[in-house]
Copies of this chain bind each other. A is one copy, B any other.
Amino acid sequence: MTGRILKLATSRKSVRKFSAKQAPMDDILYALDVARQAPSGANEQPWRFIIVTDPDLKKRIRDASERAERVLYENVKGDFREWLLSHGLSNEKPFLEEAPILVAVLMVASAQYARESLWVAVGHFLLALEERGLSTIVYTPSNPNLPLAELDSPQGFKLEVILPVGYSDDDTPKEPKKDLDEIAFLNRWGEKLTLSEGGSAAYP
């Protein structure tokens, strides 16, 4: 016996190509309803979500994001550059226009543990989307201020992430994950867990 959450987490992968099929707004609201249940520092719930369906606004968000990406790609070095190139990534982010819905996640910058809390909510959101059969990519703009300027938010909010949501049209396999015994130890750094074959946990 395994669990439903593990099935969803395992099947979930990052998707950069979306089909033209409209994503149901009810499913987006469902996933946001899940996200808002996440714990947060001093229960400040430092997350705000802007659901973007307007094609013109999506285009402006894409253009603003790509302006910053061009700077990143001119300057990136080392392992991160290798990773980007090996994955065929570039400063072009068509998924910001092609996904039927973008969810921009803004942070109340002054809240206690704002960033940590917001990303727990993102972790909830991703699993809820997967449950509804929808896909996304966690897109962190290289200069969040540029797309943020298109969203007319008040002072005191930062743009943390844009989640383009839709149905997958992306055959790229899920990125491989480290085995559990490479990342988890018992009582002391480096002290191995006892696991079943395949590097996964053995649980009833």
Contacts and interface: CB of A to CB of B under 8 A. Distances in A.
Interface of A: 2-6, 8-10, 12-14, 24, 26-27, 29-30, 32-39, 41-43, 45, 47-54, 57, 79-80, 83-84, 112-113, 115-124, 126-128, 131-132, 138, 140, 151-154, 160-161, 175-178, 180, 183-189, 193, 195, 200-204
B51 A180 contact: no
Copies per assembly: 2
B37 A9 contact: yes
Contacts of A35: 9
Given A80-B42, A83-B43, A154 B123 contact: no
Contacts of A2: 30
Nearest to A27: B203
A202 to B, nearest CB: 7
Given A154-B189, A177-B37, A184 B48 contact: yes
A126 to B, nearest CB: 7
A138 B120 contact: yes
- Closest 3 A-B residue pairs measured CB to CB? A123-B123, A29-B201, A119-B119
A152 to B, nearest CB: 5
